[in-house]
Amino acid sequence: MRYLPKSDSERGEMLAAIGLESEEDLIAYLPADVRFDKALAIADGKSEYEIVDYFKARAAENANLYPSFLGAGVYNHYRPVMVDTIVSRASF
């Protein structure tokens, strides 16, 4: 099962369990000026790979030519977001 439920009824059950009525209630404490209220400029039907590439390209526009020593030489590789979800489960 995915980390985020797909159906509205499952989302409703989760919200009810924590005493909220809507997803908006989760971020109600944030001031309006720090919220991102528009859709991302990503076409429908993009794969996870394409979305990651999109954000890498946006990041490259913002921070170019800065050396990074994170990872100590570990090569770049693709790791699906599901990996974190699965390995964080206590039953794994």
pLDDT for 80 equals: 84
pLDDT for 31 equals: 93
Residue 30 contacts residue 38 (beta carbons within 8 Å): no
pLDDT for 73 equals: 64
Q: How far is residue 72 from each of residues 14, 45, 54, 56, 83, measured CA to CA in Å?
A: 40, 35, 25, 20, 22
pLDDT for 42 equals: 80
Domain ranges across the chain: 8-87
Taking the C-alpha atoms of residue 51 and residue 38, their distance in angstroms, rounded to an integer, is 17
Residues lower than pLDDT 50 in the chain: 1-2
Taking the C-alpha atoms of residue 21 and residue 53, their distance in angstroms, rounded to an integer, is 35
The pTM is what? 0.41
Q: What is the C-alpha end-to-end distance of the chain, expressed in Å?
A: 13
Identity of the residue numbered 19: G
